[in-house]
Amino acid sequence: MSRSYFGRNKTKGSRSSSESYQSLPNGSSDAPGGPTDDLNNSEYARKLNELMKDLRALGAQSLLQLPRIAVIGGQSAGKSSLVEAIGGINVPRDSGTCTRCPMECTMHSTEGAWSCQVSLRFDYDQHGNKLSQPLNHPFGSPITDKKDVEIWLRRAQAAILSPGTASATFFGWSREQTRDAIKNDASMQKFSKNVVCVDIYDPEGTELSFVDLPGLIQNGEGIELIRELVVTYIAEETTFILVAMPAGDDIQNQQALKLAAEADAEGIRTIGVVTKPDTLAEGDIGLKERWRKVFSGHAEDHHLHHGYFCVRLPNDVERLQTGTRAAVQDRAQQFFDTNEPWKGVVDRSRLGIPDLVAYASDLLMACIHKELPNIRNRVQELLAASRASLARLPAPLQRDASAEIVDRITQFCRSLSAVVDGNSENKTFVQRNRATYDWFKIAIRSTAPDFRPFEDHTKYQRPSDPLGEGETEKHVHAVEGVEQYPTMDLHGVRKVIQECKAWELPYNVPYDSKRVLIRRFIDLWRQPTERCLDRTWTILSETARALLAEHFGQFKGLQARIGEYVFENLEEIRTSTVEFVIDSLDSERAPFYTDNTHYYSSARSKWLSHYRRVKRWPSSSLEGQIYEELPPQVIQNALQALRRLGYGELERKDLERLHPPDAFDEEMVVMADVRAYFQVAYKRVIDFIPLNIENKMNRGAAAGMQAYLFERTAMGAGEGLRKLVVEDGEVAARRVEVMGRIEQLRRIQGRLNQFGI
C-alpha cells in the first residue's frame, strides 16, 4: 500500500521525526518522544503554521526571533531540486545563479483542491533601507495548475528586483523576457533582501514553512551580498539550518556547512541533506565510505544533533516526464535499496523526501509551540519600551505658534532658575559649582606664604600649622597651574626689610616691607580667580544649552534663535561679572585692612610663638614636640618656683618668654604679621568670590532671562519668528517610527491573542 508523499505514515523500520526530536535551539529539552501530542494533530499544526505566516507578514521577524527553517547550499548543490521536491512545485533552474532573492515557502495541508498563491513582501525600500512596516500584496491570482508556478515565480522575482515598477507590469512576461531582463537590464537590482512568498495548499501536504536563500557562489557578482544574506538568516537561535550538499563533493569543502558551523557551533540547529547521490561513481570508494560513516554516526568531525538525510531527486529528463509523487518516491526508494552506501543505512527514515519533510515539520512545529510564550512576552516588552520611548518624545504642536513660544520661554526660564537655586531634581549644576569653589579654596590656600624661621631654609622642611584649622602647612601642596609663594627664610625677610627702609627711627620696621610681602600672595590670587570664573561659566553655558535642547529641541530653528538670544544675555552678564569680581579682588591690593582684629591678633600671636619655638628647637618643633628634651618633672619644678616668686599661674608654653631676645626677632614679627593677615584675607576671599559669581552671574542670569527673552522675541515678533515653530524633522520622523512600531506590535499582539496564548 502506497503512502502519502508528505504523509506521516511510516514504512516498516522507519522512525518518526517526533521520536528522534530531542532539543530546541534555546536549550530546552524534551524526553525522547518529542513534541506534545497536540503537535501531531494536523489542525493544531495548521494553526501554528498560519500563525507564523501571519506574523511574518506583519513584519514580526524583524522585531522577534520567529522559528523558521532556512535552506542553504552552494550554487550547484541541488538546492533547487530539493526545494522542488519538498514543495511539490517547479522553480526556476537556469544555469548560473538563478535565485536572486529569498523565497519563503509555506505549505498547508488542505481538504480542498491544490492551489498556490504567490505574493511579494517588501521589507526594504529600493535603496535598501528597512521599512517601518512591511508591504505585502498578492502577485497575481491563485494558481491552480502546477505547471504555471515556475513562470509566476520568475515574474515575481523580476518584480522584487524592480521595486520602482508596478508589479502588474510583469504579469504577462514570458520566461525569456524575465531571464534576459534579470541578466541584462541595468535598471534591475542584481540581488534583493525582499521576499517572494509562496503559499501552497496541498491535500497531500503537511504543515511546513521554509525560506530558500540564494545559492552560495565562489566567484562572480554578488558573492559577499549572498554570503551576508545567508549569515544574517542563519544567525538567529530559532532558525533551523537545512544544508544541501552534493554527495559527489567532499564534505570538508562544503562552504554552506562551514557557515552553518560558524552560526551553530554545537550543531544543534543544523540538518544535513545530501543531494545527488546518483552522481557517485562506482570508483568513488572514499566518498562512499565517508558517507557511510556519517550516516552510521561514526564521523565524529561532522556530528549534527539532528543528523543527516539523503534524497534522490528527479533529473532533468525525469522532471519532464509526468508521473505521480508515489512513482517518484518509489524510484528513489529503489535507488537507495540497490546502491552503496545507501542500502547499508540502518535507519531508513533518513532516506527520501517524505521522511525529511515529516521530520522538519515536526521539528519546526515543536519549536514554534515552545517559543510562543517567549514571543508573547517579548512583544509585551517591546510594546512597553516603545510606549516609554514615545512618552519621552515631545507631543506634536497643537496650538498657536506665538502661545507656544511664550510657554516654552517661560518653562525654560523656570527650569534655569530651579537649576541655579538647586530646587530641581537634578542637582548637577549646584554640585559642579560647589566642586569648583572647593578647588578655588584649595588653590587660594596653596598660595600661603612659605616662611621658614631659619637662616638657611634649604635645611628644614615647612613648619606645621599652629592654628589647628584642619590641614597642616606641610600638607598644603601645590595646585596644578597655580603659582606658589616663594619660600623665604630669615635672611630673605631681612633683605626685604632693608630694601624698604626710609627715614624710620631705629627699632622701627618699615611698614612697606609688610606691604611688599602681603602683595606677593595677593598677586597670586588673580590666576585661580580667573580659572574659577572660566569653570563656572562653562558649567552655566553647558546647562543653558542642555535646557535649550530640552525645551526647544522639537523646533530646531526656534532653538537656534532663542539660543542666540540666551547667549547674548549670558555674555553680557559674564562680562559684567568678570569685571565686578576682578575689581573686588583688586580691592584686596590696597588698603590692607581687617576689622576682624580678634582673629588677626590670635593668629599673629600663635604664629609668632610658633616661629620662635621652631627657631629654637627646629628638629623637635617640626613635629610639635615642645620642650620634650627636658624631663617633665624638671619643667614642673620650674613652673612651681616661678609661681612662688609671684609670677602667677604659668603654663609650660609661657617658659619660652624667659629666653633672651633673638637676633632675628624683627624678621619673625614680620613673618607673623604677614602670615596672620593671609589667614584673615584668604578666608574672606574664598567666600566673597564664589558669592559674587553666584549672585552676579548665575542667579543674575536666571533672574533676568525671561524679561530679556520676551523683549528680544517681541523685537523679532511676527511671521518670521512663528515660522521657526516647525518641528524638527528627526523628531517628527522618530515619532512616526515609534508610533508605527507600536501599531505593528499591537497587530502582532492581536494576532497572538487570536491564537489564544
pLDDT for residue 468: 64
Cβ(677)–Cβ(518) under 8 Å?
A: yes
Task: Give the Cα separation of 284 and 596 in Å (integer).
Answer: 109
pLDDT for residue 477: 59
Residue type at 60 in one-letter notation: A
pLDDT for residue 713: 84
Task: Give the Cα separation of 21 and 367 in Å (integer).
Answer: 10
- Grouped pLDDT means (10 residues each) for the chain, 757 residues: 35 37 37 43 84 89 89 86 85 69 90 92 87 88 92 93 90 90 85 92 88 85 86 92 90 86 92 91 87 84 87 76 74 90 91 91 92 92 93 77 88 96 94 96 94 84 67 55 91 96 92 96 96 97 96 88 95 96 94 94 92 77 44 79 82 70 91 96 96 96 94 69 75 86 92 81
Cβ(731)–Cβ(554) under 8 Å?
A: yes
- H/E stretch holding 95: none
pLDDT for residue 403: 84
pLDDT for residue 98: 66
Domains delineated in the chain: 17-384+748-755 (3.40.50.300), 411-726 (no CATH)
Residue type at 119 in one-letter notation: S
Enumerate residues 6+ apart whose C-beta is below 8 A from 302.
251, 257, 272, 294
pTM over 0.75: no
Task: Give the Cα separation of 421 and 566 in Å (integer).
Answer: 18
3-state SS assignment for residue 551: helix
3-state SS assignment for residue 123: strand
- Backbone Cα Rg of the chain: 45
pLDDT for residue 35: 41
pLDDT for residue 515: 96
